[in-house]
Structure 1
Amino acid sequence: MEISKIKEHLPVYAEGSGGLAGASDTHIGNVDAVENGNYIKLTKNNAHDGKHHWFPINWVRAVDERAVYLNKTVDEAMAQLLNEQPTNV
């Protein structure tokens, strides 16, 4: 996986039943930035609480020109998202 392919505003999908017919993944947010190559920061405008959230880059199972795909289920991702900027960014 090439981190350089992760671009601002790409949608992020976790494993699970998708919201559209035939979709296998569920949208959990959009990329705001890749921070120090270690974490992805999600935009706050489509977050459930209106705040930024972060997750480690090793959650990414794939990335293409359309989206970032995680190796976590929706429930795992939502439970484990960081609510504060990681200190080791």
Structure 2
Amino acid sequence: MNNINVNDIKEHASVIASCGTQVGKVDHLEGQDSIKLTRSDDENNEHHLIPLSWVSEVKGDQLVLNKTADEVRAQWTTM
């Protein structure tokens, strides 16, 4: 995992794929190694989990991932 300070991850921060597409917003940290995304931004009104290891950078109110939007949607966990 990159040297990401989890304290820099804010609720409702935009989650941006490496291709520049927003894939969701942070709901909260789930456990020690996952981020739960808000369901209000999902077309099916479902929560999704992504691993912290996908975060390449925290820039203010944005998390930038090291995966494209297609990769994120294919690999995230649906709750």
TM-score for both structures, normalised by structure 1: 0.81
Q: Which runs of 5+ in 2 are unaligned?
A: none
Query: 1:19-34 alignment to 2 at 5 Å?
Result: 25-34=20-29
Equivalence for 2:49: 54
Tell me if the contact between 2:24 and 2:37 (Cα under 8 Å) persists in the aligned partners: yes
Aligned partners of 1:13 and 1:27 also within 8 Å: yes
Q: Counterpart amino acid of 1:69?
A: V
Give the match for residue 22 of structure 1: none
In the alignment, does 2:10 pair up with 1:15? no
Aligned counterpart in structure 1 of residue 66 of structure 2, from 49, 71, 88: 71
Between 1 and 2, higher relative CO (CA 8 Å, sep ≥ 6) is seen in 2
Confirm whether residue 44 of structure 1 aligns to residue 60 of structure 2.
Answer: no
- Between the aligned partners of 1:68 and 1:48, the Cα distance in structure 2 is 21
The runs of at least 4 aligned residues of structure 1 exceeding 3 Å deviation read none
Offset, 1:2: 0.8
Q: Give the RMSD, CA atoms, in angstroms.
A: 0.9
Q: Percent identity?
A: 38
Output the CA distance in 1 between the equivalents of 2:7 and 2:32. Answer: 9
In 2, Cα distance between the equivalents of 1:56 and 1:66? 18
Give the partner amino acid of 1:41: K
Total equivalences in the alignment: 76
Q: Under a length normalisation based on structure 2, what TM-score does the superposition of the two structures give? A: 0.91
